Amino acid sequence: MEGKQASGTQSRTERADFQATADPALNEAADRTADVKLLSYEELYALWERQQWQTQEIDFSQDREDWDGFPEEERFQRMYGLSSFFIGEQKVAEELGPIMRAAPSEDQRIFLCTQIADEARHVRFFERFYREVGVLDADGLSQMLEQTSEHLNPEFGRLFDEMLGGRTERLSAEPGDTEALVEAVTLYHMVIEGMLALTGQHFIMDFNEREGTLPGFVEGFQNVARDEHRHVAFGSVFLREKAGEDERYKRAIERTLAEAVPAAEGVLSPPWAPEDEDYELFGFSISETRDFAARCLGRRLKVIGLG
């Protein structure tokens, strides 16, 4: 059985089940060398089989008490912080179909099918948390998503709808366009999951663990984060393979990052944060979160062969 107990950020990323994903961001050696072992597509699939979990097993009763006790302002800020994750999970779940179909090998497609199942589970995890804790008072999942969408900033739409949506539309029409696939994986696995999701998750879990709040949420969110590391590990091995194959793909990765990173940094900043100030949210400043995201991206790029 792989480790399940939560005990702080440091030990979380060092846990055997997190390390098992071989995400380069969890490997210090990636600061110095590109010669870091990544899992193959088959190994990533086998790991997915071993890392199953159930949203319905999580007990949110303490979370409900905690939530009711938060002042209204804190409830709003926490809900805002979670909105982009909830909507993000739903959007990526829908965008993965065309990416999966466009992947050139059977092993890649099989892994991406497991990722589609994971993203669906992540949506249900948020839905259960929102419902059981009473974050929003909505009838069904679509109504809940509609209410949650009101809290997103414009950079979120640029990144998910314009940039990622544009590439997946292209892939739906032209599944053989490998350059568009490289761009989509750069956006999806490197920027949206690698830079945004994992950074936000890291700081939100850290904050709750320090405060001793929302234990059910933290338990589930750790499972989500472990899944994301496995997804990013897939992106890393795929992009390393493509970057080694053709200069054209290397340039496509660089071009996509230059376009997307500024939008991703905008998503990390809440709309009420003053522009000329290093705003603090949940005990961490915006510049700390950006530095963390940049370090993780740097390690992954080095391993891909771009650092």
Q: How far is the CB of 224 from Fe ion (least distance, A)?
A: 6
Q: How far is the CB of 126 from Fe ion (least distance, A)?
A: 10
Site string for Fe ion, 123-162 (x = CB under 5 A): ----------------------------------------
Question: Residue 258 contacts by C-beta under 8 Å, 6 or more apart in sequence?
Answer: none
Q: What are phi and psi of 165, to 5 degrees?
A: -60, -40
Q: Return d(Cα 94, Cα 58) in angstroms, integer.
A: 25
By the rule CB under 5 A, 121 interacts with Fe ion: no
Query: In this chain, which stretch among 54-62, 124-132, 185-193, 295-303 interacts with Fe ion, using CB under 5 A?
Result: 185-193
By the rule CB under 5 A, 231 interacts with Fe ion: yes
Closest CA to 135 of 143, 124, 144, 125: 144
Q: How far is the CB of 280 from Fe ion (least distance, A)?
A: 26
Residues 83-102 that bind Fe ion (CB under 5 A): 89
Query: In this chain, which stretch among 22-30, 135-143, 230-238, 288-296 interacts with Fe ion, using CB under 5 A?
Result: 230-238
By the rule CB under 5 A, 122 interacts with Fe ion: yes
Residue found under tokens 């970057």? 243
Q: How far is the CB of 236 from Fe ion (least distance, A)?
A: 13
Q: How far is the CB of 228 from Fe ion (least distance, A)?
A: 5
Site string for Fe ion, 234-273 (x = CB under 5 A): ----------------------------------------
Q: How far is the CB of 251 from Fe ion (least distance, A)?
A: 26
* Per rule CB under 5 A, count of chain residues that contact Fe ion: 6
Query: In this chain, which stretch among 31-39, 42-50, 188-196, 293-301 interacts with Fe ion, using CB under 5 A?
Result: 188-196
By the rule CB under 5 A, 229 interacts with Fe ion: no
* Contacts with Fe ion, residue ranges (CB under 5 A): 89, 119, 122, 193, 228, 231
